[in-house]
Amino acid sequence: MDGRNGRSRSPRAGLVRQASGPEVNAWTQWGDLETVVVGNADPQSCHLPVEPACHSEINDPHLAESIPWPGGCVKHQAAIRAAAAQLDNFCAVLKAECVKVVSEHAWDSELKRSTDKRRTMIEQSPSKEGEDTRVYRKAPVSTLRPTVLDWSKPVSGPEWDSKSQYCATCPRDTMITLGNTILEATMSKRSRYFEHLACRDIGLRLWRADPDRVKLWACPKPSMSDRMYHSDFFQLTKEQRFDRMRSYQFCVNETEPVFDAADITRCGKDIFVQKSMTTNDLGIKWLTSHFPELRVHPLHFPYDLHPSHIDCTFVPLRPPTTGDGGGDGLALINPERPPLKSEMELWRKNGWKLMNAPLPAQFDRPAFSQSSYWLSMNLLSLSPRSVVIEENEVGLCKLLEDTGFDVITIPMRHMYDFGGAIHCCTWDIKRRDSCTDHFPEQEYRRAHMYEESFNDIDVIDVSSANSGFLLNPTKDFKIGCHENVLTRSEAPASVASK
Ligand code: ABU
């Protein structure tokens, strides 16, 4: 699909469209991308209201002293325009057939200072590569956009109400394509209960066009009543959170199935679902029972004390391949949120390798961002050989280029205020892939599923090669870089000694 100029296949090579294939088809995170939804920063986008599943805080301590969290208020129009412009630019890059990527030291309009960047420009025709310039021909990707809605209106159910909704910047959170099925997630926040409606027209259109092969499904919507939540969760101190870490209990309890679509990552016949603030065991069980053609595996990341969405934590990039040019599968991990040893056995035994994401190029976050600085690794794969990342992330760019990827960049920091970045703001509709078994050795599947007593926190050591399983052990890692976790000296001895 893509490749560096001069060594690449032509942009159309190998791109014979499956004329007979359904327009909804996505089994993996990496199959050649043909159609994708890109979110909107609508004029009435709001700050998340405070509710049982959400207690937001302003990141900037000086601003936080002056104003309370503006939950339920419409975001500043300048912030909305800036995010909208970056989302439009992303669409233009996706649609382009040829792009040039160069190194620059340039002004960043969100950080308000100059930074090192890898900058992508759309090219009309291939031009020469230089020392610091790469030119990529790529297959154009079709983009769809959600319906523009007014998110400032209050919403309610029989047992709850919310001052406003949120926004449509992150369709990844509410929608997922699993094979030929479009699935609407339950969500766990009241303000996001109806957010899928921004994508309803897209789902209906695709289903109506091919109802024999395309399914449009939803998990039963939860009551969102107070009974669904651990009411003390946001009152816990960090020390108490560490005490509870072994039990993976977050703000949503097990009363009803709950999941955000962004807690799921697809690897063909196997999908992996993070237990989190936004996904409970019952939600994972619902997925298991409703997708019998798939093998559903829970994943746990104990050092993330407020986990929400797997795409800043564990990112499969390409599968193992056999034959000439065959190689290991590859997944990017977050060194501050290492995966469990027990859950990685399946990956190790099936020919996958892990790679630490570099620490983010920038640790600053916009004042109203409710995501971590690990949006740095929130990338979108265009194919098993090509990815789109944020333009400031020059370290990640180098790592991925060194590992054989074509790396296209876009500016996306203005989206950080709107709940996500490059992966969050998309929803894959059509990839050229299939329900391939990339984990044939299933005997290494973790035995425990949905055990209430599950208390494993034995993670892989990100500073050791783990017998070759981890490609780039890092000494940079230190428990406590992340605002969600304690510094090593603050952590209980049992944890700090890990
Ligand atoms: N919506 C993705 C955010 C994940 C994170 O903050 O790490």
d(CA 245, CA 238): 10
Determine which one of 98, 267, 424, 425 is catalytic.
Answer: 424
Q: What is the pLDDT of residues 335-393, one digit of tens each?
A: 999 999 999 999 999 999 999 999 999 999 999 999 999 999 999 999 999 999 999 99
Ligand 1 nearest-atom number relative to CA 372: 6
Q: What is the pLDDT of residues 92-126, one digit of tens each?
A: 999 999 999 999 999 999 999 999 999 999 998 77
Query: What are the b/e assignments for 201-211, b being 16+ CB within 10 Å?
Result: ebbeebbeeee
Q: What is the pLDDT of residues 380-436, one digit of tens each?
A: 999 999 999 999 999 999 999 999 999 999 999 999 999 999 999 999 999 999 999
* Band of pLDDT at residue 447, cut at 50, 70 and 90: low
- pLDDT attached to residue 445: 75
Count of other CB atoms within 10 angstroms of residue 334: 24
- pLDDT attached to residue 280: 96
* Band of pLDDT at residue 238, cut at 50, 70 and 90: confident
CB of 191 sitting under 6 A from ligand 1: no
Confirm if 371 and 312 have CB atoms less than 8 A apart: yes
Mean pLDDT of all residues belonging to the chain? 90
262 CA distance to ligand 1 centroid (A)?
9
First and final C-alpha spacing in the chain: 43
pLDDT for 498 beyond 70: no
Q: What is the pLDDT of residues 186-199, one digit of tens each?
A: 999 999 999 999 99
- pLDDT attached to residue 151: 98
CB of 307 sitting under 6 A from ligand 1: no
d(CA 220, CA 257): 8
Side-chain-side CA neighbours of residue 84 (13 Å):
16
Side-chain-side CA neighbours of residue 172 (13 Å):
28
CB of 309 sitting under 6 A from ligand 1: yes
Reply yes or no on whether 309 is catalytic: yes
Count of other CB atoms within 10 angstroms of residue 453: 7
Determine which one of 32, 42, 173, 260 is catalytic.
Answer: 260
- pLDDT attached to residue 487: 37
What are the structure tokens assigned to 448, written together?
């425990």
d(CA 286, CA 288): 5
* Band of pLDDT at residue 5, cut at 50, 70 and 90: very low
Ligand 1 nearest-atom number relative to CA 378: 2
CB of 8 sitting under 6 A from ligand 1: no
- pLDDT attached to residue 496: 35
Count of other CB atoms within 10 angstroms of residue 199: 22
Number of residues that this document lists for the chain: 498
CB of 329 sitting under 6 A from ligand 1: no
* Band of pLDDT at residue 494, cut at 50, 70 and 90: very low
- pLDDT attached to residue 289: 96
What are the structure tokens assigned to 235, written together?
């009152």
- pLDDT attached to residue 11: 31
372 CA distance to ligand 1 centroid (A)?
6
Query: What are the b/e assignments for 279-308, b being 16+ CB within 10 Å?
Result: bbbbbbbbbbeebeebbbbbbbbbbbbbbb
CB of 27 sitting under 6 A from ligand 1: no
CA 257 to chain centre: 21
CA separation, residue 120 to residues 131, 208, 220, 317 (Å): 15, 37, 42, 21
d(CA 447, CA 445): 6
pLDDT for 215 beyond 60: yes
Q: Pick the closest to residue 489 from 275, 308, 281, 242 (CA basis).
A: 242
Residue 416's DSSP bridge partners are none
- Most confident region among 100-109, 130-139, 467-476 by mean pLDDT: 100-109
CB of 176 sitting under 6 A from ligand 1: no
Beta strands in 16-141 (DSSP E): 32-38, 98-108, 113-122, 133-137
- pLDDT attached to residue 4: 38
Higher pLDDT, 270 or 125: 270
175: left (phi over 0), alpha (psi -120 to 50) or beta: beta
Confirm if 410 and 85 have CB atoms less than 8 A apart: no
Confirm if 377 and 357 have CB atoms less than 8 A apart: yes
Reply yes or no on whether 173 is catalytic: no
Determine which one of 196, 297, 300, 309 is catalytic.
Answer: 309
Q: Pick the closest to residue 139 from 105, 73, 93, 186 (CA basis).
A: 93
pLDDT for 230 beyond 70: yes
- pLDDT attached to residue 477: 67
pLDDT for 464 beyond 70: yes
What is the mean pLDDT of the segment spanning 73-79?
98
Ligand 1 nearest-atom number relative to CA 170: 1
What are the structure tokens assigned to 158, written together?
């029989």
Q: What is the pLDDT of residues 275-327, one digit of tens each?
A: 999 999 999 999 999 999 999 999 999 989 899 999 999 999 999 998 777 79
- pLDDT attached to residue 325: 72
Q: What is the dihedral of CA 400, 405, 406, 407, to 10 degrees?
A: -20
d(CA 154, CA 157): 11
Out of 308, 422, 485, give the residue to mutate to test ligand 1, the one with the largest number of ligand atoms within 8 Å of its CB.
Answer: 308
- pLDDT attached to residue 26: 98
Reply yes or no on whether 260 is catalytic: yes
Out of 371, 379, 423, 482, give the residue to mutate to test ligand 1, the one with the largest number of ligand atoms within 8 Å of its CB.
Answer: 371
d(CA 242, CA 247): 10
What is the mean pLDDT of the segment spanning 471-482?
71
- pLDDT attached to residue 130: 84
Higher pLDDT, 2 or 298: 298
d(CA 102, CA 371): 28
Q: In which order are the strands placed within the sheet that holds 352-356?
A: 314-318, 329-333, 352-356
377 CA distance to ligand 1 centroid (A)?
10
125 CA distance to ligand 1 centroid (A)?
37
349 CA distance to ligand 1 centroid (A)?
29
269 CA distance to ligand 1 centroid (A)?
25
- pLDDT attached to residue 454: 86
